[in-house]
Structure 1
């Protein structure tokens, strides 16, 4: 009976280890996607500088610049959102803004 309990406990422990490993992998994939979104937006601005005048950068709910955005370390970013097209709020579209990059830091 004792050996059966040890086997059951060992099996549960192994299943818990494999489950926590898959959660870590999913979190890492999500973080990469968020950073790739920001990297894509920044590359688009490097290749087409005229977009800078049509973009608003918001860092921690305050309007900022692309230069200050580039200075933020990836590990300090908590949230990244890039809005384009119809997703951009009407108040920005009235002023000719076509893209909003919003970042929150830790």
Structure 2
């Protein structure tokens, strides 16, 4: 038998999603692109959806996850805050540790099957 465990992790605040894999991907894309519109495009998200997700994270966290720079000659942009970078690292660690645990538990299942 070829068993698989399927799982997705998300973190809620006051019964609303704060972080999940998709939101973390968006934060990583913002960090890489320096722009919400470019980040949204790279993930095949509409700007409106990306803005909604980012706004939700900014209003749900203890600090904003991004800051905006005003346009000008080079145009404006969206930058990740240190808090936003720490959230990515923390979520990635939680996710990695969870998968390690699930893999270990799957090995127990394989032994009894």
With normalisation by structure 1, the TM-score equals 0.30
Larger strand percent: 1
Q: Which has the higher contact order (CA 8 A, sep 6+)?
A: 1
TM-score (norm 2): 0.29
Whose helix proportion is higher, 1 or 2?
1
